[in-house]
Chain A
């Protein structure tokens, strides 16, 4: 482990400790057992909705995700080419900053509950993510091939002939991983009414029909766990399979409602601006923005940062605890049962929507920062552990390296640590974004107010707060770039 990564880790840990007294981590006396027992019973005896409903929502979930990811990957590839430009970086950070649910709510104002809304809500933030990740992957490649080209070669040729071929395998593997994330996003979009799996999951969970909620969750786990069979085939090359699926996805899209251009015009020219601005009253505009900033945005910013700091550090600790259990490095063939168990556990942790974790922990601990931090940390730890586990399996180890705990402490962990830190720093902005969905806990993050603004049909306020979140994300992004450069 390098001394800089040691210092960074220590700094984050200390900041988190300092945050603890300010964060609200009250534990309430609760009696959750009846409700938890009902949940447990649902898990043991899951029930499934009618096959037509289940199939329909699964197909929609996959279709939205496939189309959105392929569109975003292409756009991201283009943006990665010009990622040196500050404007492109700011643009990417801004579109990433907004949770898919909020993109969904924005597009719903114009396109209603349609396939366009579902696809755009995933495509747009994912474009920002792809741009950033592709640019970073390219940055990590060897510069040698580039020096062999004639000096007058243009930027695009250099990109296509030297950087892309080297980065390609990593980019493909990242795109596959993103597809899994898109399936999750697509599912979650059901929470606001799009016809994906989440639509029924949210209803069943909300109504306390835990048997059906469990059935839908299990279906989702199976969908994710079988990606490697249905998306990658030994017999059909993916250059054929992917276009085939994309074509099918286009036909599978649900019918869209009538869309009027006037809705878009109205939204852009009227809805998102404060009334005072439309009336041309400059003083009132100033007062309005001042009120939004001082009374809403800044306190919310503080809550958001506090919560995400704690969640991030806890995520890191959990990852170091979780990842070895699923890795071939520690559990080779003869322990494949243990490894299978570890992998399934990680799959479950990263696939269960945070909202469900938040509700379970809310029952156990009462409403405070605790369920929020636990829900965010468990979900993200499941994700990062999975990525780190895969990374650990790609390294070469000496045949005489230690065994068990020694191997973990002195060999593997120090070697995966830089990658671990960069994953965690990247996840920082995701945690900030996800803190939006914890309104049931009464924690007033930026996302809580954005959600309220949409619910109150106050798009002027929603837009203002979204801009604030974007600024926060740009700051966090540039800060974590600086840290990684240390």
Chain B
């Protein structure tokens, strides 16, 4: 028995030591790769606002396109949350990212000199919908206060999307705060975070939550695909427009990938016109953008205390 134990323990401890070393040896792998000897691999990430299925396959196509145009190896890594995307960007595990409005602002604050270089055509004037279950009796109105006139919100439940989402949380929360002069948790009986726009729609449609905030593009996409029963859930208010998703790039890419690399990336993104590639985001095209375009998002986030 003791002998068995000793052998087993010895093997396990060897393995345990192996764990700490394994990733290190793995990391060096790309440098052995011949094509990557001169230039490191350019890595990007993206979390689309709708349809996260088969991310790897869809964005690998984008990677192939970028690689051809940029003349470097390009790799896509999938992430699950805005926070993870920001962390990867900050730690230089990705050099380019398709961020939401708020996550882009956060990322650029953490990586001085990083720049928003392009946004989706639709992202110049993005908007969110406030949606409500039919049993609430809430009706569509162009004016937020009139939409809620005569309604006691204290008995109502409200769900945002993901905690770090611009369209599912930041902007709707800002307008709710302006209207009700209080934090949403004080305005409504309960605030949930569904984590995703599709979940928000499913939850409000079933009445699990009575009111919710959702990205307009996701709503329209699900409406088109027949997932929404408008007798059960409808849009009661639309936020004013704001800038949202954008491509942000790290400041040090020119040193590492060659002079004018940043400009080349920008041009390549702006020239992307293959509908199949654009559908992954999903956007009709990309247009130029700058950090200043996102000042409204930054101010709003500061106003409601999401950033310091």
Q: Interface on A for B, CB 8 Å cutoff?
A: 28-32, 34-35, 53, 67, 70-71, 73-75, 77, 105, 108-116, 119, 123, 160-161, 164-165, 168, 191-193, 199, 202-204, 206-209, 212, 239, 242-243, 246-247, 250, 253, 255-260, 263, 275, 359, 362-363, 366-368, 439-442, 451-452, 454-457
Contacts and interface: CB of A to CB of B under 8 A. Distances in A.
A394 B81 CA distance: 46
A253 B22 contact: yes
Interface stretch (B1-9, B142-150, B259-267, B280-288): B1-9
Nearest to A254: B26
Contact residues on B (Cβ < 8 Å of other chain), bracket: 35 or more
Interface string B48-86: 000111011000000000000000000001111111101
B87 interface: yes
23 contacts: A70-B16, A75-B16, A105-B83, A111-B23, A113-B93, A192-B80, A202-B80, A204-B53, A239-B4, A242-B8, A243-B11, A256-B26, A258-B93, A259-B23, A359-B199, A363-B202, A367-B209, A439-B195, A440-B192, A452-B163, A455-B164, A456-B307, A457-B87
Nearest to B305: A456
A98 to B, nearest CB: 17
B87 A109 contact: yes
Contact of A113 (B29, B84, B86, B190): B84
A253 B22 CA distance: 9
Contacts, number: 198
A257 B93 contact: yes
B15 A164 contact: no
Interface string B25-51: 011010000000000000100000001
Interface of B: 1-2, 4-5, 7-9, 11-13, 15-16, 18-20, 22-23, 26-27, 29, 43, 51-53, 55-56, 77-84, 86-88, 90-93, 106, 110, 135, 157, 159, 162-164, 190-196, 198-199, 202-203, 205-210, 227, 229, 232, 306-308
A74 B16 contact: yes
Q: Is the interface of A mostly helix, strand, loop or mixed?
A: helix
Contacts of A239: 4, 7-8
Given A114-B23, A208-B227, A366 B195 contact: no
A41 to B, nearest CB: 13
A450 to B, nearest CB: 12
Nearest to B80: A193
A367 B23 contact: no
Q: Which 9 residue pairs across A and B have the least CB separation, nearest first?
A: A442-B192, A193-B80, A30-B207, A455-B163, A257-B93, A71-B16, A256-B23, A112-B93, A116-B23
Contacts of A67: 15, 19
B195 A206 contact: yes
A451 B193 CA distance: 11
A75, A208, A212 pick with most chain B CB within 10 angstroms: A208
B210 to A, nearest CB: 8
Given A206-B52, A206-B196, A206-B199, A71 B15 contact: yes
B41 to A, nearest CB: 9
A456 B79 CA distance: 16
Contacts of A77: 9
A73 B11 CA distance: 12
Given A164-B2, A207-B53, A363-B202, 19 more contacts: A30-B207, A30-B208, A34-B232, A70-B15, A73-B12, A109-B87, A112-B88, A113-B79, A168-B5, A193-B84, A199-B78, A203-B53, A246-B15, A253-B23, A359-B199, A440-B194, A451-B163, A456-B83, A456-B164
B190 A367 contact: yes
Given A250-B18, A366-B208, A192 B81 contact: yes
B77 A113 contact: yes
A362 B93 contact: no
A239 B7 CA distance: 8
Contacts of A168: 1, 5
Nearest to A362: B208
B17 to A, nearest CB: 9
A75 B12 CA distance: 10
B195 to A, nearest CB: 6
Given A70-B16, A202-B80, A30 B206 contact: yes
A259 B12 contact: no
Nearest to B308: A275
Contact of A165 (B2, B79, B90, B203): B2
A255 B76 CA distance: 13
A369 to B, nearest CB: 11
B2 A250 contact: no
Contact of B205 (A34, A73, A105, A165): A34
Contacts of A111: 23
Contacts of A53: 56
A259 B51 contact: no
B2, B55, B91, B205 pick with most chain A CB within 10 angstroms: B91
Given A452-B163, A456-B163, A74 B9 contact: yes
Contacts of A191: 80
Nearest to A192: B80
Nearest to A74: B12
Contacts of B106: 457
B206 A440 contact: no
B2 A161 contact: yes
Contacts of B210: 28
B82 A208 contact: no
A452 B81 CA distance: 12
Contacts of A441: 192
B242 to A, nearest CB: 19
B19 to A, nearest CB: 6
A275 B256 CA distance: 32
Given A70-B15, A457-B86, A29 B163 contact: no
Nearest to A111: B23
A151 B159 CA distance: 67
Given A256-B26, A275-B308, A108 B15 contact: no
A29 B207 contact: yes
